[in-house]
Amino acid sequence: MRYWISFDKGRMMRDEIKFFILYILKYNFFFKWELKKLEKLHSLSKNEIDILKFKKIKKLLKKSLKSKFYRDLYKTHNIDINGIQTIEEFDKLPIVTREMIQGREEELLTKTPLLLFKGSTSGTTGSALTVYYDYRSVVIKNAYIWMYRNSCGLKLRDPIVSLRGELSKNEISKYDRYTNTLHLSTFNINSKNIYKYHRLIKEFKPKAISAYPSSLSSLVNILKEHNLRLNVELSLTSSETILPEQIKTIEEFLNTKVLDWYGNAERTIALQNSSGHYQELLLYSHCNYLKDSIITTNLNNLSSLLIRYRVDDSVEIEDNKIVSILGRSDDFIILKDDSKVVGTIGGIIFKGVNGVKCGQIVQNRKNNIDVNLVISNFTSADRELLIENIYKILGDSIEFAIRYIKEDEIIYTSSGKFKVVINNLL
């Protein structure tokens, strides 16, 4: 397959096995069954959807009796969950924050963690949070993604280019023949490599590009500088805030339609944008939109409960429609070869590093960063993993210093917001 760059046969075989296993896990009979169920939801009335939603909420509350965290929480607040008979009553339950559950993630579980998939997210402060998913919730999440993609005209096995940070600084591309996806590195997008990126995409002829907004914007801007045009029908963005000017530039230069998906690693919320505003996915979650946050509840993961969980992003609403997501806007890191690494890289660098209460990356010189840490029980293993993550994502030539600081030394924007990555070269 021409899209493989590495000639390491052992590595190629490992990647091939990995892609095959992921395909079997994600695109099997259960996936097709869940997808059909989701598609039928659109034929139901709002009242029927509301009834089904509350049934899911009641099931969650019943499951919460098996969770130590929620048993303790509701006992402390003298709450009898059996007495909750309406969604309005459910919306009065205590709000759960990231700080409340950090270090207590297994107390959220209703079954042994040995039976669950385990992930990690750094959130908005760079501090690690372990998240668990049961297999059914993984399949359902994938079914929701493909219900959205199908509605936009994309079908399973259509060729897709992925610019979502799956590859390290030491790689350019990998091809997954099972999903017909060409993975491209987000960490090597620069003028030196742009002709290679252009050739790979042009020869692959993707129907869609799935990307971080900042990665796709960086690619398009460099393509424009070199007058290298491409035509891609759909551009599927997620994981960061996408700005109107980014959408305009991407759509004009790639002759594409930008479709944005908003979600979080905890999987307590998912919003799709295909008509100029964001919509909730039916029965994915239950959300309350506040001025400075969103209170979310996952309706499909019964093994690791997040009920009334606060997400520190907010939305802009006009005419009762969500027109934009506020938050998740970070600077990027500039490397030696002028590659611009997206702000979400902070989440990858701090991923799994449990001893970090708060982490922030500051750049004052090209190819040089300060990694500022507020720590608690920070071990040598945490430090080794942090360094491994830095080199894996930013390459062996990156220069960095790890600095241990106090909480009052963390840098905030003029509006008081925290950013994981701050680039003082901009």
- Residue 13: the pLDDT is 85
Cα–Cα dist 41/46, whole Å: 10
Is the pLDDT assigned to residue 8 strictly greater than 80? no
108 within a domain of the structure (yes/no): no
Average pLDDT for 114-124: 78
Average pLDDT for 62-73: 96
44 within a domain of the structure (yes/no): no
Tokens of 228: 């290298």
353 within a domain of the structure (yes/no): yes
- CATH number, position 418: 3.30.300.30
Q: The whole model's pTM is what? A: 0.78
Mean pLDDT computed over every residue of the chain: 88
Stronger pLDDT, 291 or 87, i.e. the higher one: 87
In Å, what is the CA distance from 376 to each residue of 9, 300, 396, 406? Answer: 42, 33, 28, 11
Q: How confident is the model at residue 1 (pLDDT cuts 50, 70, 90)?
A: very low
Q: Could you tell me if 344 and 331 are in contact, meaning their C-beta atoms sit under 8 angstroms apart? A: no
Cα–Cα dist 211/185, whole Å: 11
In Å, what is the CA distance from 8 to each residue of 315, 393, 421? Answer: 46, 20, 34
Average pLDDT for 336-360: 77
Q: How confident is the model at residue 418 (pLDDT cuts 50, 70, 90)?
A: low
- Residue 339: the pLDDT is 77
357 within a domain of the structure (yes/no): yes
Provide the domain count of the chain. Answer: 1
Stronger pLDDT, 167 or 240, i.e. the higher one: 167
Domain that holds residue 382: 333-423
Residue 103, classed as helix, strand or coil, is coil
- Residue 81: the pLDDT is 94
Residues 27-36: tens digit of each pLDDT: 999 999 999 9
151 within a domain of the structure (yes/no): no
401 within a domain of the structure (yes/no): yes
410 within a domain of the structure (yes/no): yes
Q: How confident is the model at residue 415 (pLDDT cuts 50, 70, 90)?
A: very low
Is the pLDDT assigned to residue 3 strictly greater than 70? no
58 within a domain of the structure (yes/no): no
